[in-house]
């Protein structure tokens, strides 16, 4: 009887989950055509002020970006700008935390084919602090979680997953008002599971070695009902 009860509960939970996802998909369907392609995102950012324009130009023309742009295995995009504006304002990193004195310009992201690795370049402004002048550690964790997931999703069967575990080691304070680089690498994939390692470091300048600010390891798992989620998530990855 207990087994039957557990089985019924599991089936009911699955049915509810699929129902919720189906309703969400139907609700968002009219917006599907407004999701931008990778190429379109590269020209979609409109700086709000002169400093935002300066940051955008610096990131796009930095030697690291130029080098990755010339590497055939990497695809360049600004994933935050794939999301339609009416949805973007409701998201954390692409909406709430984006703008002047925060994440000034949408991160410029380079993804290696097959979900192997990812490099993201961005600027963190003074309104993202915990301690005065120091970027909040929770924000760094959020950026790593998001980027490490984006890194490995293409390696999963339905290209979508959720965070099962995320561990971090903070190495140096991340000072606000500076550029940074996030690097992620998928180190292992087994079925619906992907293990990823990542770090945020300073953007190298004038031949100096970058300084590692925080390192992370994470496990992402593709949900069993991922097939129902894939159409939506594949548009924003």
**What's the count of helices (H) and strands (E) in the chain, helices before strands?**
7, 7
Residues 26, 132, single domain; the answer is: no
User: What is the average pLDDT value for the chain, to the nearest integer?
Assistant: 87
Beta-strand pair 108-112/162-170: unpaired
Whether the pLDDT of residue 121 is over 50: the answer is: yes
Determine the structural domain holding residue 81 and report its residue range.
35-236
Residues 13, 121, single domain; the answer is: no
Give 171-205 pLDDT, tens digit per residue: 999 999 999 999 999 999 999 999 999 999 999 88
Report the pLDDT value the prediction gives residue 207, as an integer from 0 to 100. Answer: 77
For position 171, which CATH number holds? 3.10.129.10
Residues 149, 199, single domain; the answer is: yes
From residue 146, alpha-carbon distances to 27, 109, 150, 172, 182 in Å are 24, 12, 6, 21, 11
Residues 156, 211, single domain; the answer is: yes
Contact call for residues 143 and 182 (beta carbons, < 8 A): yes
Residues 151, 62, single domain; the answer is: yes
Report the pLDDT value the prediction gives residue 153, as an integer from 0 to 100. Answer: 96
Residues 2, 86, single domain; the answer is: no
- CA 70 distance to own-chain centroid: 22
Residues 93, 28, single domain; the answer is: no
Residues 13, 49, single domain; the answer is: no
- The gap between the terminal CA atoms of the chain, to the nearest Å, is 43
- Residues 101 and 127: their CA atoms lie apart, in Å, by 6
Give 43-58 pLDDT, tens digit per residue: 999 999 999 999 999 9
Stated as kind and residue range, the H or E segment containing 67 is helix 63-69
Residues 24, 75, single domain; the answer is: no
Lowest-pLDDT range, 1-15, 68-82, 120-134, 183-197?
A: 1-15
**Domains in the chain, number:** 2
pTM listed for this prediction: 0.83
Whether the pLDDT of residue 23 is over 80: the answer is: no
Q: How many percent of the chain have pLDDT more than 90?
A: 77
DSSP letters for 117-155: EEEEEEEE-GGGBSSTTBB-HHHHHHHHHHHHHHHHGGG
Q: How many percent of the chain have pLDDT more than 70?
A: 81
Residues 21, 114, single domain; the answer is: no
């Amino acid at each position: 009887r207990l087994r039957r009860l557990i089985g019924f509960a599991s089936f009911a939970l699955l049915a509810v989950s699929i129902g919720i996802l189906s309703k969400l998909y139907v609700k968002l369907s009219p917006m599907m055509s407004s999701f931008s392609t990778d190429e379109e995102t590269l020209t979609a950012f409109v700086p709000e002020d002169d400093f935002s324009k300066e940051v955008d130009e610096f990131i796009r023309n930095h030697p690291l970006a130029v080098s990755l742009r010339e590497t055939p295995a990497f695809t360049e995009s600004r994933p935050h700008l794939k999301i339609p504006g009416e949805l973007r304002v409701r998201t954390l990193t692409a909406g709430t935390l984006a703008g002047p004195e925060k994440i000034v310009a949408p991160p410029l992201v380079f993804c290696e084919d097959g979900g192997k690795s990812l490099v993201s370049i961005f600027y963190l402004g003074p309104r993202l602090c915990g301690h005065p002048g120091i970027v909040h550690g929770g924000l760094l964790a959020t950026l790593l979680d998001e980027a490490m997931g984006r890194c490995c999703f293409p390696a999963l069967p339905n290209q979508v997953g959720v965070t099962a575990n995320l561990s971090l080691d903070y190495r140096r304070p991340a000072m606000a008002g500076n550029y940074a680089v996030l690097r992620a690498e998928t180190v292992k994939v087994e079925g619906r599971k992907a293990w990823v390692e990542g770090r945020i470091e300073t953007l190298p300048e004038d031949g100096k070695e970058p300084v590692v600010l925080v390192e992370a390891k994470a496990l992402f798992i593709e949900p069993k009902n991922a097939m129902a989620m894939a159409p939506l998530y594949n548009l924003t990855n």
